Structure 1
Amino acid sequence: MIGFAAIGSQSSSAQTIKFTSAMHTSKNLTYNGTIKYYVKSDAKKYSPEISYATKKWNRALGKKVFKPTTNIGHSRLVFTGTNKLGRNYAGVAEINSGVIALNTSWMNRYNQQKRRAVVIHELGHTFGTKDLYAYPNADLRGMFKKQTIMGGNYSTHIKSFDTKLAKWTLKKTRTMSQTEFRHYRSNTGLYYQQMLNGRL
Protein backbone atom coordinates (compact mmCIF):
# COMPACT_ATOMS: atom_id res chain seq x y z
CA MET A 1 0.00 0.00 0.00
CA ILE A 2 1.58 3.27 -1.06
CA GLY A 3 -1.19 5.67 -0.20
CA PHE A 4 -3.04 6.62 2.96
CA ALA A 5 -5.19 9.39 4.40
CA ALA A 6 -3.37 12.41 5.76
CA ILE A 7 -5.86 14.18 8.00
CA GLY A 8 -5.64 17.85 8.91
CA SER A 9 -7.65 19.71 11.54
CA GLN A 10 -10.92 19.02 9.69
CA SER A 11 -11.94 15.59 8.47
CA SER A 12 -12.97 17.17 5.16
CA SER A 13 -9.31 18.01 4.53
CA ALA A 14 -8.37 14.33 4.43
CA GLN A 15 -6.80 13.24 1.20
CA THR A 16 -4.91 10.25 -0.09
CA ILE A 17 -1.22 10.88 -0.53
CA LYS A 18 0.61 8.58 -2.92
CA PHE A 19 4.26 8.05 -2.13
CA THR A 20 6.39 8.75 -5.20
CA SER A 21 10.02 8.53 -6.30
CA ALA A 22 10.28 12.30 -5.70
CA MET A 23 10.18 11.49 -1.97
CA HIS A 24 13.28 9.31 -1.81
CA THR A 25 16.90 9.09 -2.92
CA SER A 26 18.71 5.92 -4.05
CA LYS A 27 20.19 4.67 -0.76
CA ASN A 28 19.91 4.70 3.01
CA LEU A 29 22.43 4.41 5.85
CA THR A 30 21.33 1.13 7.39
CA TYR A 31 23.64 -1.86 7.61
CA ASN A 32 22.21 -5.16 8.84
CA GLY A 33 19.06 -3.22 9.73
CA THR A 34 20.72 -0.67 12.00
CA ILE A 35 22.47 2.69 11.86
CA LYS A 36 25.28 2.91 14.39
CA TYR A 37 25.95 6.54 15.20
CA TYR A 38 28.87 8.37 16.78
CA VAL A 39 28.71 11.83 18.35
CA LYS A 40 31.89 13.82 17.69
CA SER A 41 33.23 16.06 20.48
CA ASP A 42 32.01 19.25 18.75
CA ALA A 43 28.44 17.91 18.82
CA LYS A 44 28.47 16.51 22.38
CA LYS A 45 26.51 19.51 23.65
CA TYR A 46 23.62 18.30 21.50
CA SER A 47 23.76 14.76 22.93
CA PRO A 48 20.43 15.17 24.79
CA GLU A 49 18.69 16.19 21.56
CA ILE A 50 20.38 13.40 19.59
CA SER A 51 19.39 10.80 22.19
CA TYR A 52 15.82 12.13 22.22
CA ALA A 53 15.54 12.09 18.42
CA THR A 54 17.00 8.61 17.91
CA LYS A 55 14.72 7.17 20.57
CA LYS A 56 11.69 8.87 18.96
CA TRP A 57 12.50 7.34 15.57
CA ASN A 58 13.18 3.92 17.11
CA ARG A 59 9.78 4.00 18.81
CA ALA A 60 8.04 5.19 15.66
CA LEU A 61 9.62 2.48 13.53
CA GLY A 62 8.99 -0.21 16.14
CA LYS A 63 12.60 -1.39 16.20
CA LYS A 64 16.00 -0.19 17.32
CA VAL A 65 17.34 1.20 14.05
CA PHE A 66 19.62 3.79 15.69
CA LYS A 67 22.29 2.48 18.04
CA PRO A 68 25.07 4.59 19.60
CA THR A 69 28.71 3.56 19.29
CA THR A 70 31.86 4.92 20.94
CA ASN A 71 34.00 3.87 17.95
CA ILE A 72 33.82 6.24 14.98
CA GLY A 73 35.22 3.52 12.74
CA HIS A 74 32.24 1.29 13.53
CA SER A 75 29.71 4.02 12.75
CA ARG A 76 27.49 4.53 9.75
CA LEU A 77 26.61 8.01 10.94
CA VAL A 78 28.62 10.75 12.64
CA PHE A 79 27.14 13.86 14.24
CA THR A 80 29.33 16.94 14.11
CA GLY A 81 28.86 20.60 15.01
CA THR A 82 30.07 23.25 12.58
CA ASN A 83 29.94 26.99 11.89
CA LYS A 84 30.80 26.51 8.22
CA LEU A 85 27.40 25.62 6.81
CA GLY A 86 25.39 28.01 4.69
CA ARG A 87 23.42 30.47 6.81
CA ASN A 88 20.11 29.01 5.60
CA TYR A 89 20.78 25.58 7.06
CA ALA A 90 20.27 24.59 10.68
CA GLY A 91 21.62 21.17 9.77
CA VAL A 92 22.45 18.98 6.80
CA ALA A 93 22.71 15.25 6.26
CA GLU A 94 25.12 13.71 3.79
CA ILE A 95 24.12 10.10 3.27
CA ASN A 96 27.05 8.93 1.13
CA SER A 97 29.71 9.40 3.81
CA GLY A 98 27.33 9.26 6.77
CA VAL A 99 27.48 12.68 8.40
CA ILE A 100 24.89 14.94 10.01
CA ALA A 101 26.34 18.42 10.47
CA LEU A 102 24.55 20.72 12.90
CA ASN A 103 24.95 24.46 12.37
CA THR A 104 26.10 25.76 15.76
CA SER A 105 25.07 29.34 15.00
CA TRP A 106 21.45 28.19 14.65
CA MET A 107 21.42 25.38 17.19
CA ASN A 108 22.86 27.58 19.94
CA ARG A 109 20.04 30.10 19.65
CA TYR A 110 17.25 27.58 19.18
CA ASN A 111 15.23 26.39 22.16
CA GLN A 112 15.31 22.69 23.04
CA GLN A 113 12.18 21.86 21.07
CA LYS A 114 13.62 23.31 17.86
CA ARG A 115 16.99 21.62 18.38
CA ARG A 116 15.21 18.30 18.79
CA ALA A 117 13.16 18.96 15.66
CA VAL A 118 16.25 19.70 13.59
CA VAL A 119 17.88 16.41 14.63
CA ILE A 120 14.67 14.43 14.02
CA HIS A 121 14.41 15.94 10.53
CA GLU A 122 18.04 15.25 9.63
CA LEU A 123 17.74 11.67 10.88
CA GLY A 124 14.83 11.25 8.49
CA HIS A 125 17.28 11.64 5.61
CA THR A 126 19.27 8.61 6.79
CA PHE A 127 16.34 6.43 5.66
CA GLY A 128 16.72 7.85 2.15
CA THR A 129 13.88 10.36 2.47
CA LYS A 130 14.15 13.69 0.64
CA ASP A 131 13.15 17.14 1.89
CA LEU A 132 9.41 17.45 1.31
CA TYR A 133 9.58 21.24 1.41
CA ALA A 134 11.11 20.86 -2.07
CA TYR A 135 8.41 18.49 -3.35
CA PRO A 136 7.48 19.31 -7.00
CA ASN A 137 3.69 19.44 -6.46
CA ALA A 138 3.03 22.93 -5.04
CA ASP A 139 -0.21 22.06 -3.23
CA LEU A 140 1.30 19.05 -1.50
CA ARG A 141 4.52 20.95 -0.84
CA GLY A 142 2.58 23.55 1.12
CA MET A 143 0.80 20.88 3.14
CA PHE A 144 4.04 18.99 3.81
CA LYS A 145 5.70 22.18 5.10
CA LYS A 146 2.95 22.63 7.68
CA GLN A 147 2.31 19.04 8.73
CA THR A 148 5.33 16.79 8.26
CA ILE A 149 8.76 16.20 9.77
CA MET A 150 10.45 16.08 6.38
CA GLY A 151 8.53 19.18 5.34
CA GLY A 152 10.48 21.07 8.00
CA ASN A 153 7.61 21.95 10.34
CA TYR A 154 9.87 21.91 13.46
CA SER A 155 7.68 19.31 15.12
CA THR A 156 9.03 16.72 17.53
CA HIS A 157 5.92 14.56 17.07
CA ILE A 158 6.52 11.83 14.49
CA LYS A 159 3.06 11.32 13.01
CA SER A 160 1.66 8.36 11.12
CA PHE A 161 2.54 9.97 7.77
CA ASP A 162 6.19 10.44 8.77
CA THR A 163 6.45 6.88 10.08
CA LYS A 164 4.87 5.29 7.02
CA LEU A 165 7.01 7.38 4.69
CA ALA A 166 10.20 6.41 6.55
CA LYS A 167 9.32 2.71 6.39
CA TRP A 168 8.46 3.03 2.70
CA THR A 169 11.69 4.84 1.78
CA LEU A 170 13.73 2.25 3.67
CA LYS A 171 12.17 -0.40 1.42
CA LYS A 172 12.55 1.66 -1.75
CA THR A 173 16.21 2.53 -1.20
CA ARG A 174 19.23 0.28 -0.92
CA THR A 175 21.84 -0.09 1.78
CA MET A 176 25.47 0.40 0.83
CA SER A 177 27.94 -2.44 1.15
CA GLN A 178 30.85 -1.87 3.53
CA THR A 179 33.18 -1.54 0.52
CA GLU A 180 31.03 1.15 -1.10
CA PHE A 181 30.58 2.97 2.18
CA ARG A 182 34.34 2.98 2.92
CA HIS A 183 34.92 4.32 -0.59
CA TYR A 184 32.66 7.29 0.11
CA ARG A 185 34.22 7.89 3.53
CA SER A 186 37.66 8.13 1.94
CA ASN A 187 36.49 10.73 -0.59
CA THR A 188 38.13 14.06 0.33
CA GLY A 189 35.29 16.00 -1.29
CA LEU A 190 32.61 14.56 0.99
CA TYR A 191 31.69 15.60 4.52
CA TYR A 192 33.41 12.80 6.45
CA GLN A 193 36.92 13.70 5.29
CA GLN A 194 36.15 17.43 5.43
CA MET A 195 35.05 16.98 9.03
CA LEU A 196 38.16 14.99 10.00
CA ASN A 197 40.40 17.61 8.41
CA GLY A 198 38.67 20.62 10.02
CA ARG A 199 37.10 21.96 6.85
CA LEU A 200 33.50 21.32 7.90
Structure 2
Amino acid sequence: MFKFKHVFVLVLATLMFVIGFAAVGGQSSSAQTIKFTSAMHTSKNLTYNGTIKYYVKADAKRYSPEITYATKKWNRALGKNVFKRTTQISHSRLVFTGTNKLGSNYAGVAEINSGVIALNTSWMSRYNQQKRRAVVIHELGHTFGTKDLYAYPNASLRSLFKKQTIMGGNYSSQIKSFDSKLAKWTLKKTRSMSQTEFRHYRSNAGLYYQQMLTGRL
Protein backbone atom coordinates (compact mmCIF):
# COMPACT_ATOMS: atom_id res chain seq x y z
CA MET A 1 0.00 0.00 0.00
CA PHE A 2 1.46 3.33 -1.03
CA LYS A 3 0.65 6.15 1.36
CA PHE A 4 0.69 9.72 0.05
CA LYS A 5 3.01 11.65 2.32
CA HIS A 6 6.14 13.75 2.02
CA VAL A 7 9.19 11.79 3.08
CA PHE A 8 11.51 14.12 4.96
CA VAL A 9 15.25 13.59 4.72
CA LEU A 10 16.59 12.38 8.01
CA VAL A 11 20.21 12.34 9.15
CA LEU A 12 20.81 8.79 10.33
CA ALA A 13 23.77 7.21 12.08
CA THR A 14 25.53 4.37 10.31
CA LEU A 15 23.90 1.03 11.10
CA MET A 16 25.77 -2.29 11.22
CA PHE A 17 23.66 -5.39 10.57
CA VAL A 18 23.84 -8.45 8.20
CA ILE A 19 22.67 -8.21 4.51
CA GLY A 20 24.03 -5.62 2.05
CA PHE A 21 22.17 -2.33 1.59
CA ALA A 22 23.53 0.33 -0.78
CA ALA A 23 22.75 3.88 0.29
CA VAL A 24 20.67 5.84 -2.21
CA GLY A 25 22.91 8.86 -1.93
CA GLY A 26 25.20 7.53 -4.63
CA GLN A 27 27.68 4.83 -5.54
CA SER A 28 30.35 6.42 -3.36
CA SER A 29 28.19 6.29 -0.23
CA SER A 30 29.31 3.89 2.46
CA ALA A 31 27.39 0.61 2.47
CA GLN A 32 24.96 -0.11 5.24
CA THR A 33 23.78 -3.61 6.05
CA ILE A 34 20.31 -4.68 7.08
CA LYS A 35 19.05 -8.02 8.32
CA PHE A 36 15.94 -9.32 6.55
CA THR A 37 13.32 -10.46 9.06
CA SER A 38 9.88 -12.08 9.11
CA ALA A 39 8.40 -8.62 9.82
CA MET A 40 9.16 -7.76 6.18
CA HIS A 41 6.91 -10.36 4.55
CA THR A 42 3.47 -11.97 4.69
CA SER A 43 2.71 -15.68 4.17
CA LYS A 44 2.06 -15.85 0.42
CA ASN A 45 2.94 -14.37 -2.97
CA LEU A 46 1.10 -14.12 -6.29
CA THR A 47 3.33 -16.31 -8.43
CA TYR A 48 2.05 -19.45 -10.12
CA ASN A 49 4.57 -21.72 -11.83
CA GLY A 50 7.12 -18.95 -11.31
CA THR A 51 5.19 -16.18 -13.08
CA ILE A 52 2.55 -13.55 -12.38
CA LYS A 53 0.27 -13.06 -15.36
CA TYR A 54 -1.28 -9.61 -15.17
CA TYR A 55 -4.26 -8.00 -16.85
CA VAL A 56 -4.84 -4.26 -17.26
CA LYS A 57 -8.51 -3.36 -16.91
CA ALA A 58 -9.95 -0.63 -19.16
CA ASP A 59 -10.03 1.90 -16.31
CA ALA A 60 -6.27 1.46 -15.78
CA LYS A 61 -5.11 1.47 -19.40
CA ARG A 62 -4.11 5.13 -19.11
CA TYR A 63 -1.34 3.83 -16.84
CA SER A 64 -0.14 1.16 -19.28
CA PRO A 65 3.18 2.96 -19.95
CA GLU A 66 3.94 3.05 -16.22
CA ILE A 67 2.84 -0.58 -15.74
CA THR A 68 5.01 -1.74 -18.62
CA TYR A 69 7.96 0.23 -17.26
CA ALA A 70 7.50 -1.14 -13.74
CA THR A 71 7.08 -4.79 -14.76
CA LYS A 72 10.16 -4.63 -16.97
CA LYS A 73 12.14 -3.06 -14.13
CA TRP A 74 11.16 -5.84 -11.74
CA ASN A 75 11.83 -8.57 -14.30
CA ARG A 76 15.30 -7.15 -14.86
CA ALA A 77 15.96 -6.81 -11.12
CA LEU A 78 14.84 -10.40 -10.47
CA GLY A 79 16.81 -11.76 -13.41
CA LYS A 80 13.79 -13.55 -14.91
CA ASN A 81 10.44 -12.77 -16.49
CA VAL A 82 8.16 -13.04 -13.48
CA PHE A 83 5.58 -10.57 -14.83
CA LYS A 84 3.84 -11.48 -18.08
CA ARG A 85 0.89 -9.58 -19.53
CA THR A 86 -2.25 -11.44 -20.56
CA THR A 87 -5.26 -10.25 -22.58
CA GLN A 88 -7.69 -12.46 -20.66
CA ILE A 89 -8.67 -11.53 -17.12
CA SER A 90 -9.58 -15.15 -16.35
CA HIS A 91 -5.97 -16.17 -17.04
CA SER A 92 -4.55 -13.53 -14.71
CA ARG A 93 -3.14 -13.69 -11.22
CA LEU A 94 -3.08 -9.91 -11.01
CA VAL A 95 -5.46 -7.23 -12.28
CA PHE A 96 -4.69 -3.51 -12.46
CA THR A 97 -7.67 -1.23 -11.97
CA GLY A 98 -8.11 2.53 -11.64
CA THR A 99 -10.51 3.85 -9.02
CA ASN A 100 -11.56 7.00 -7.21
CA LYS A 101 -12.93 5.03 -4.26
CA LEU A 102 -9.73 4.41 -2.33
CA GLY A 103 -9.01 6.19 0.92
CA SER A 104 -7.67 9.67 0.25
CA ASN A 105 -4.33 8.83 1.91
CA TYR A 106 -3.43 6.15 -0.61
CA ALA A 107 -2.05 6.51 -4.12
CA GLY A 108 -2.43 2.78 -4.61
CA VAL A 109 -3.14 -0.49 -2.81
CA ALA A 110 -2.36 -4.12 -3.53
CA GLU A 111 -4.49 -7.02 -2.35
CA ILE A 112 -2.54 -10.24 -2.72
CA ASN A 113 -5.31 -12.68 -1.84
CA SER A 114 -7.54 -11.85 -4.81
CA GLY A 115 -4.78 -10.41 -7.00
CA VAL A 116 -5.67 -6.74 -7.49
CA ILE A 117 -3.62 -3.55 -7.67
CA ALA A 118 -5.91 -0.52 -7.43
CA LEU A 119 -4.48 2.85 -8.47
CA ASN A 120 -6.05 5.96 -7.02
CA THR A 121 -6.95 8.06 -10.07
CA SER A 122 -7.23 11.19 -7.93
CA TRP A 123 -3.56 11.07 -6.96
CA MET A 124 -2.22 9.43 -10.10
CA SER A 125 -3.67 12.21 -12.26
CA ARG A 126 -1.70 14.79 -10.24
CA TYR A 127 1.59 12.91 -10.29
CA ASN A 128 4.27 13.28 -12.92
CA GLN A 129 5.42 10.19 -14.81
CA GLN A 130 8.26 9.44 -12.40
CA LYS A 131 5.92 9.33 -9.39
CA ARG A 132 3.33 7.24 -11.25
CA ARG A 133 6.07 4.74 -12.09
CA ALA A 134 7.17 4.71 -8.45
CA VAL A 135 3.66 3.94 -7.22
CA VAL A 136 3.29 0.99 -9.61
CA ILE A 137 6.77 -0.36 -8.76
CA HIS A 138 5.94 -0.17 -5.05
CA GLU A 139 2.59 -1.94 -5.41
CA LEU A 140 4.15 -4.66 -7.55
CA GLY A 141 6.62 -5.25 -4.73
CA HIS A 142 3.71 -6.47 -2.62
CA THR A 143 2.94 -9.25 -5.11
CA PHE A 144 6.10 -11.02 -3.90
CA GLY A 145 4.66 -11.00 -0.37
CA THR A 146 6.69 -8.02 0.84
CA LYS A 147 5.14 -5.71 3.43
CA ASP A 148 5.24 -1.91 3.58
CA LEU A 149 8.56 -1.05 5.18
CA TYR A 150 7.31 2.38 6.27
CA ALA A 151 5.39 0.38 8.91
CA TYR A 152 8.42 -1.63 10.06
CA PRO A 153 8.40 -2.05 13.88
CA ASN A 154 11.98 -0.85 14.47
CA ALA A 155 11.79 2.96 14.50
CA SER A 156 15.37 3.63 13.36
CA LEU A 157 15.11 1.21 10.45
CA ARG A 158 11.62 2.47 9.62
CA SER A 159 13.04 5.98 9.15
CA LEU A 160 15.86 4.62 7.01
CA PHE A 161 13.47 2.56 4.86
CA LYS A 162 11.19 5.57 4.28
CA LYS A 163 14.13 7.54 2.98
CA GLN A 164 15.94 4.94 0.91
CA THR A 165 13.74 2.04 -0.22
CA ILE A 166 10.94 1.39 -2.68
CA MET A 167 8.91 -0.59 -0.16
CA GLY A 168 9.52 2.18 2.35
CA GLY A 169 7.71 4.57 0.01
CA ASN A 170 10.56 6.79 -1.18
CA TYR A 171 8.91 7.39 -4.60
CA SER A 172 11.89 6.02 -6.51
CA SER A 173 11.37 4.64 -10.01
CA GLN A 174 14.66 2.74 -9.84
CA ILE A 175 15.04 -0.66 -8.17
CA LYS A 176 18.23 -0.67 -6.12
CA SER A 177 20.19 -3.64 -4.80
CA PHE A 178 18.43 -3.76 -1.41
CA ASP A 179 14.93 -3.93 -2.90
CA SER A 180 15.86 -6.56 -5.49
CA LYS A 181 17.56 -8.71 -2.82
CA LEU A 182 14.57 -8.28 -0.52
CA ALA A 183 12.16 -9.32 -3.30
CA LYS A 184 14.15 -12.45 -4.10
CA TRP A 185 14.39 -13.34 -0.42
CA THR A 186 10.67 -12.71 0.14
CA LEU A 187 9.72 -14.97 -2.76
CA LYS A 188 11.68 -17.77 -1.11
CA LYS A 189 10.12 -17.15 2.30
CA THR A 190 6.50 -17.06 1.09
CA ARG A 191 4.33 -19.59 -0.71
CA SER A 192 2.41 -19.53 -3.96
CA MET A 193 -1.33 -20.11 -3.67
CA SER A 194 -2.80 -23.10 -5.45
CA GLN A 195 -5.34 -22.38 -8.18
CA THR A 196 -8.11 -23.67 -5.90
CA GLU A 197 -7.15 -21.34 -3.06
CA PHE A 198 -6.73 -18.41 -5.42
CA ARG A 199 -10.15 -18.94 -7.06
CA HIS A 200 -11.69 -19.12 -3.58
CA TYR A 201 -10.36 -15.66 -2.78
CA ARG A 202 -11.42 -14.25 -6.14
CA SER A 203 -14.99 -15.41 -5.52
CA ASN A 204 -15.12 -13.70 -2.12
CA ALA A 205 -17.51 -10.73 -2.35
CA GLY A 206 -15.67 -8.89 0.42
CA LEU A 207 -12.32 -8.80 -1.39
CA TYR A 208 -11.12 -6.36 -4.03
CA TYR A 209 -11.60 -8.57 -7.10
CA GLN A 210 -15.37 -8.87 -6.68
CA GLN A 211 -15.66 -5.28 -5.51
CA MET A 212 -13.87 -4.22 -8.69
CA LEU A 213 -16.17 -6.26 -10.92
CA THR A 214 -19.29 -4.85 -9.24
CA GLY A 215 -18.09 -1.25 -9.34
CA ARG A 216 -17.60 -0.89 -5.59
CA LEU A 217 -13.83 -0.42 -5.89
- Shorter chain as denominator, the TM-score bin is over 0.9
The answer as to 2:39 corresponding to 1:26 is no
Which of these residues, 148, 151, 161, is aligned with residue 165 of structure 2?
148
Tell me what 1:53 maps to: 70
Q: After superposition, give the CA deviation of every residue in 1:54-111 in whole Å (9 maximum; x if it has no partner).
A: 0000000000000000000000000000000000000000000000000000000100
Alpha-carbon distance, 1:178 to partner? 0.1
Amino acid in structure 2 at the alignment position of 1:5 = G
SS at match of 1:85: coil
Q: Distance in 2 between matches of 1:72 and 1:97?
A: 12
Partner of 1:197: 214
Aligned residue runs from structure 1 range 35-184, under 5 A: 35-184=52-201
Cα distance, 1:181 vs. partner?
0.1
Question: Matched residues, percent identical?
Answer: 86
Give the TM-score normalised by structure 2: 0.89
Counterparts of 1:158 and 1:4 in 2: how far apart (Å)? Answer: 17
Question: What's the offset of the Cα at 1:4?
Answer: 1.8
Number of residue pairs the alignment of both structures matches: 199
What does residue 31 of structure 2 align with?
14
Residue type of the alignment partner of 1:104? T
Q: Matches of 2:106 and 2:91 in 1, distance apart?
A: 28
**Shift of residue 14, structure 1, vs aligned partner:** 3.3
- Deviation, 1:15, is 3.0
Task: Report which of the two has the higher share of helix.
Answer: 1
**CA shift at 1:141, angstroms?**
0.5
* C-alpha displacement of 1:16: 2.2
Query: Do the aligned partners of residues 13 and 77 (structure 1) sit closer, same or farther apart at CA in structure 2, a change above 3 Å counting?
Result: same
Structure 1 runs of 4+ off > 2 angstroms? 7-16
